[in-house]
Amino acid sequence: MELSGIGVGRGLAVGAVLRMPDPLPEPAAGQHGGDAAAEYATVKAALAAVSAELGDRAVRAGGDAQAVLEAASMMASDPSLDDDIKARIEAGTTGERAVFEAIAAFQDILIGMGGYLAERAADLGDVSQRIVARLRGVAAPGVPESDTPFVLVAQDLAPADTALLDLDKVLCLITRDGGPTSHTAILARSKSIPAIVGVGRALELVDGDVVVADAASGTITVNPSAQIIAQTRERIAQRAAIAHAPITPGALADGTPIPLLANLGSPAEAADAVALGAEGVGLFRTEFLFLGATRAPTVAEQQAQYVQLLQHFSGKKVVVRALDAGADKPLSFLTNSHEENPALGLRGLRALRASEQILRDQLVALANAQAETDAELWVMAPMVADAAETDYFVSIGRELGLETVGVMAEVPSLALVAEQVAQVADFLSIGTNDLTQYTLAADRMLGSVASYQDPWHPAVLRLVKMLGDAGARFGIPVGICGEAAADPQLAVVLVGLGATSLSMTPAALADVRAELLTVTLGQAKAKAALALLARTAVEARAVATATESITA
Ligand code: PEP
Ligand code: MG
């Protein structure tokens, strides 16, 4: 039997399944005995206990998990949730049901907001389960214990589960729910655990089933033959050897340099990226400074963060992206109107243009930071549609003292007029995540159309080629900073299409470095030429990765 889902990363695993216990059944609708005050007091005690337990887990977990668990702990002690539960109990509903309904209402609001917030709704579901379990006097559903390593299979994983996972024991995560940006996927990526999410038939797996999980292809082979198990173990050993190979600057087999850069979301991630051999930063996402804030950070506040980042990359290139608000990253002070299709709305440079002072402050903070360090700062705008928008961003950047100003290619229109853009911008950086979403007209947050979100699609590759050709003709660099650069075989094709640098999550650097060393520029171009002629993403991948393609 073979199951499929959305693979996270490139990892491989072979091992026996352990299932996470199923969630508690929904509390039945019903009325309590009449003593609302006593019913509420019991619930109030359960809320406090769950909040305290999650707070305690937060401290024990530390790291990234701490903030997530603290947020869950705060949800359990949220006064408006408490008020809602109390009102439902006073209207006669049982405590269990009141908790369930009040939290479900809260979840609906988050789901209605879409994107990142919708995915946080799962965290609330976990809080609800913990409170109901406590009211029933049963154990809260959680990660099973085992003395031997296992493949964890679950409907979904909540932060409270993942935070305390024993990472030495978990070989792979498989979940029925969740998309590429779900909590499970984020955790798996940051810890380099293979994961496959959104596996519709995951719950057909039972304890003890042996599986081979291949995140690169998103497939799970159940009870495979001894030969497949042996081959998989060999591939796992090869991957481990790659991970320990010497760190050298990114280059092809013929010596053509292809700098390998890191995608970072905060200065705190810089040290690890340097340790993994990042030769600079190809995408620094600045949203962390703004998300969750009720006002824009000041120039001084921003400057301090940018200096912290740049100090890690003395003499190296650091590409910072101007704030990319809107769509899955709503910001109350910038994008506050309701939009039916936020991905097609006032986002990225469009939103900054509508609030130009925020853009100017950010660029001033960056120019000041540049003056304080000796990193090579490049600045780019997200969601740029054409050469006129490029003119706008480049001229403000220059006016405010920035030396190297470029744009991201994420909207197909920009690729179609790439030659015009390349005459204005200092560099191009291709955001393949959004470029794929807009080329295939498939919302990248939506699981039901996830199969369209494949940057191997020849239509996307053709746009990349237009951008690469324009960069070569006008002598400007063309980087890749979307997830596509982290797929080693696609990275080769992107180089063949004209990419001059690749930027990715630091965990992917070793695999990409190793793959680039296997081909010359001529061979990469030959693979790219084959992929461009394919009719589907699957076909493009197949022709470009076939061994005979490299003799072309
Ligand atoms: C992209 O769209 O490819 C990109 C790198 O930007 P983000 O994923 O932050 O939208
Ligand atoms: Mg983008």
Please report, rounded to a whole number, the percentage of residues in the chain having pLDDT higher than 70: 94
Question: C-alpha 183: how far from its chain's center?
Answer: 9
Confidence of residue 551 (pLDDT cuts 50, 70, 90): very low
Confidence of residue 547 (pLDDT cuts 50, 70, 90): low
Q: Is the CB of 287 under 6 A from ligand 1?
A: no
Q: Is the CB of 410 under 6 A from ligand 1?
A: yes
Please report, rounded to a whole number, the percentage of residues in the chain having pLDDT higher than 90: 64
Q: Is the pLDDT of residue 80 over 80?
A: yes
Task: Give the pLDDT mean for 269-290.
Answer: 94
Q: Is the CB of 191 under 6 A from ligand 1?
A: no
Residues 2-21+143-243: name the CATH superfamily. Answer: Phosphohistidine domain (3.50.30.10)
Question: What pTM did the predictor assign?
Answer: 0.71
Mean pLDDT of all residues belonging to the chain: 90
What's the chain's length in residues?
552
Closest Cα to atom 8, ligand 1: which residue?
433
Residue 172 annotated as catalytic:
no
Which regions of the chain carry the CATH code 1.10.274.10?
36-136
**Residue 435 alpha carbon to ligand 2 centre in Å:** 8
Closest Cα to atom 6, ligand 1: which residue?
431
What the block records as the tokens of 308 is 């912290």
Which regions of the chain carry the CATH code 3.20.20.60?
260-549
pLDDT at residue number 107? 85
Q: For residue 430, which ligand has an atom nearest its CA?
A: 1
CATH fold for the domain made of 260-549: TIM Barrel (3.20.20)
Closest Cα to atom 1, ligand 1: which residue?
431
Q: Which residues are 260's β-sheet partners?
A: 502
Maximal C-alpha separation, the chain: 81
Q: Is the CB of 283 under 6 A from ligand 1?
A: yes
Q: Is the CB of 327 under 6 A from ligand 1?
A: no
Pocket test for ligand 1, best of 281, 290, 410, 411 (most atoms within 8 A of CB): 410
Q: Is the pLDDT of residue 152 over 80?
A: yes
Q: Is the pLDDT of residue 81 over 80?
A: yes
**β-bridge pairing 12-19 and 6-8:** unpaired
Closest Cα to atom 4, ligand 1: which residue?
431
**Residue 377 alpha carbon to ligand 1 centre in Å:** 19
Residue 481 annotated as catalytic:
yes
**β-bridge pairing 376-381 and 317-321:** parallel
Tell me which of 32, 183, 312, 457 is the catalytic residue: 183
Most confidently modeled range among 224-238, 289-303, 319-333, 436-450: 224-238
Q: Which residues are 222's β-sheet partners?
A: 211
Pocket test for ligand 1, best of 284, 383, 434 (most atoms within 8 A of CB): 434
Pocket test for ligand 1, best of 186, 266, 283 (most atoms within 8 A of CB): 283
The predicted-structure confidence for 281-331, as pLDDT tens digits, reads as follows: 999 999 888 877 778 899 999 999 999 999 999 999 999 999 998 776 777
**Residue 240 alpha carbon to ligand 2 centre in Å:** 31
> What residues have their beta carbon closer than 5 A to ion ligand 2?
410, 431, 434
pLDDT at residue number 545? 85
What the block records as the tokens of 19 is 């299932």
Q: Is the pLDDT of residue 260 over 60?
A: yes
Q: Is the CB of 328 under 6 A from ligand 1?
A: no
Residues 6+ apart with CB under 8 A from 281: 261, 262, 263, 264, 270, 273, 309, 313, 316, 317, 318, 319, 320, 503
Residue with tokens 């299932």: 19
Residues 216 and 10 sit within 8 Å (Cβ to Cβ): yes
The predicted-structure confidence for 381-429, as pLDDT tens digits, reads as follows: 999 999 999 999 999 999 999 999 999 999 999 999 999 999 999 999 9
CATH number given to 36-136? 1.10.274.10
Q: Is the CB of 185 under 6 A from ligand 1?
A: no
pLDDT at residue number 164? 67
pLDDT at residue number 116? 64
What is the Cα–Cα distance from 343 to 348, expressed in whole angstroms?
10
DSSP string, 406-458: EEEE-SHHHHHTHHHHHTT-S-EEE-HHHHHHHHTT--TT-GGGGGG--TTSH
pLDDT at residue number 145? 72
Q: Which helix (H) or strand (E) holds 365?
A: helix 356-372
Pocket test for ligand 1, best of 321, 347, 414, 433 (most atoms within 8 A of CB): 433
Q: Is the CB of 181 under 6 A from ligand 1?
A: no
| Helical H segments across 475-552, by residue range | 488-496, 509-516, 521-532, 537-545
Residues 348 and 315 sit within 8 Å (Cβ to Cβ): no
What is the Cα–Cα distance from 193 to 168, expressed in whole angstroms?
10
Q: Is the CB of 481 under 6 A from ligand 1?
A: yes
Q: CA-based angle 265:268:274, to the nearest 5?
A: 90
More confident position, 502 or 71 = 502
Q: Is the CB of 439 under 6 A from ligand 1?
A: no
Q: Which residues are 150's β-sheet partners?
A: 170
